[in-house]
Amino acid sequence: MRNPKSFYLRTYGCQMNELDTEIMAGILKKRGLEQVQEEENADLLIFNTCSIRDLAERKVMGKLGQLGRSKKRAAIIGVTGCMAMAKKESLFKKLPHIDFVLGTNNITDLDLVLDEVLKGETQKIKTDLKFEENLDYLVASRESKTSAHISIIRGCDKFCTYCVVPYTRGREVSRPGADIENEVRKLAGEGYKEITLLGQNVNSFGKDKPESKELFHDLLYRLDKIDGIERIRFLTSHPVDITYELMQAIRDLPSVCEFVHFPIQAGSDRILRKMHRIYTKSQYLEKVALLKETVPGVSLGTDIIVGFPTETEAEFQETYDVFKEIGYSVAFLYTYSPRQGTPAMRWQDDIPEEVKEERHQRLLELFHETSAKEREKLVGETVEVLFEKRNKTNMLKGRTRCWKKVIADGPDSLLGTLQKVKVHSFNHETLLGTVIA
């Protein structure tokens, strides 16, 4: 097999996968390969996959099947990410034309596996469930020069009954705080203004390493001191682990944005129990109330699954009512799909697809209504925007501290800078404004 000179990397799924893609791109560039944007021009194709929903898996399986049928390519093909972990060797049976499978905890083995494939070894696979802390995060090759994702904890110990993550990413492993600080200092030196700390549950940071005596809020205090980093965001939080100390850090630290992704998943206690979310609706609401009281003006995001096995219309209505009561700024709304290997697979997926879709639509409509009202309130206000790039119509595009998209006219010199913008109108998802001096 000839030595590849170029590579194409495609990411499916969450920000964690996007970051893993950036690390793989860095490893390959270090090896002397050039990244290309068209798969037709690449000697090496890597598909960094997602397993969280059935649709995500079907999309990538369809894509890989199509590549096999076209057979005109001599490119090396690799599958990485959560689907690699979930399907392991079975991928070679369905897709005999793929050359290697690399799990979420084996990115660091990319060089090694490529060498083996180049020596003529076929169907190489590495899918360790345990993450070893030997990943060189500093090698990441990022597209944005303004905003960077930083991994602080990998894996999850919560075992929600519908979720594959504990099986595809393994148990929680926190990264040493000093390593995270080094990476953030390096990024600040390169001109990055915003960082997003990533983990399946960032609030568990440090709990697996009690000897470090550093929990998530301590890490925020450490990173807030770094000159040049104007904004710190974090994703995702499990409601049970959101502490009062964290709320105080959001309130008191200038760089920490007043936005918390606080996924409720369902509004009925019976469904929450069945999901193994380990909180009740009232415990969740108490935490939201404490957060709103501690951090005035805080915005909240959520994930919600509708049509979980046995969910009744009345139970869905509870989800709808909580959603209305809280008024989320950001919401990822899904219909339930059973995932192989999860405890929820033991229950019949008994809610008809049309009922799931109808509930999904009702919630979406509510979300569009509430977020339109929220944006309307901002008309006439001045917001702080970090401009990151230009959109298709050549306008500057950025986000507020609370994650709202904003577009405005202006010169290239404003890219990568924080600006005050007066909002004059809004459309479907975006605020439109004018940069003020």
Residue 224 structure tokens: 């807030």
129, 60, 134, 128: which is closest to 95 by C-alpha? 60
Of the pair 261, 375, the CB lying nearest ligand SF4 is at 261
Shortest distance, CB of residue 291 to ligand SF4, whole angstroms? 18
Of the pair 36, 240, the CB lying nearest ligand SF4 is at 240
Do residues 80 and 49 lie in contact, with contact meaning Cβ atoms separated by under 8 Å? yes
Q: Among 56, 84, 150, 165, which residue sits at the site for ligand SF4 (rule: CB under 6 A)?
A: 165
Shortest distance, CB of residue 14 to ligand SF4, whole angstroms? 10
Shortest distance, CB of residue 261 to ligand SF4, whole angstroms? 11
Of the pair 238, 281, the CB lying nearest ligand SF4 is at 238
Shortest distance, CB of residue 169 to ligand SF4, whole angstroms? 8
Residue 319 structure tokens: 């989800």
How many residues touch ligand SF4 under the rule CB under 6 A: the total is: 10
Of the pair 63, 158, the CB lying nearest ligand SF4 is at 158
Of the pair 188, 266, the CB lying nearest ligand SF4 is at 266
For 356-384, b/e burial (b = at least 16 CB within 10 A) is beebbebbeebbeebbeebbeebeeeebb
Shortest distance, CB of residue 110 to ligand SF4, whole angstroms? 24
Shortest distance, CB of residue 339 to ligand SF4, whole angstroms? 10
Instruction: Write the DSSP string, 170-185.
Output: -S-EEPPHHHHHHHHH
Segment near ligand SF4 (CB under 6 A); pick from 8-16, 60-68, 144-152, 155-163: 155-163
Q: Which of residues 193-222 bind ligand SF4 (CB under 6 A)?
A: 200-201
Of the pair 4, 239, the CB lying nearest ligand SF4 is at 239
- Alpha helices in 11-89, H assignment, sequence order: 15-30, 54-70, 82-87
Q: CA-to-CA distance for 33 and 29, rounded, in angstroms?
A: 5
Segment near ligand SF4 (CB under 6 A); pick from 157-165, 246-254, 325-333, 406-414: 157-165
Q: Among 159, 171, 280, 357, which residue sits at the site for ligand SF4 (rule: CB under 6 A)?
A: 159
Give all strands (DSSP E) within 314-417, no chain letters. 330-335, 382-390, 396-399, 405-408
Q: Which of residues 220-259 bind ligand SF4 (CB under 6 A)?
A: 238
Amino acid (one-letter) located at 327: G
Using the rule CB under 6 A, is 156 a contact of ligand SF4?
yes
The SS3 call for residue 130 is coil
Q: CA-to-CA distance for 420 and 435, rounded, in angstroms?
A: 6
Q: Quick one: 139 exposed, middle or buried, by C-beta within 10 A (0-12, 13-18, 19+)?
A: middle
Residues forming contacts to ligand SF4 in the complex (CB under 6 A) are: 156, 158-160, 163, 165-166, 200-201, 238
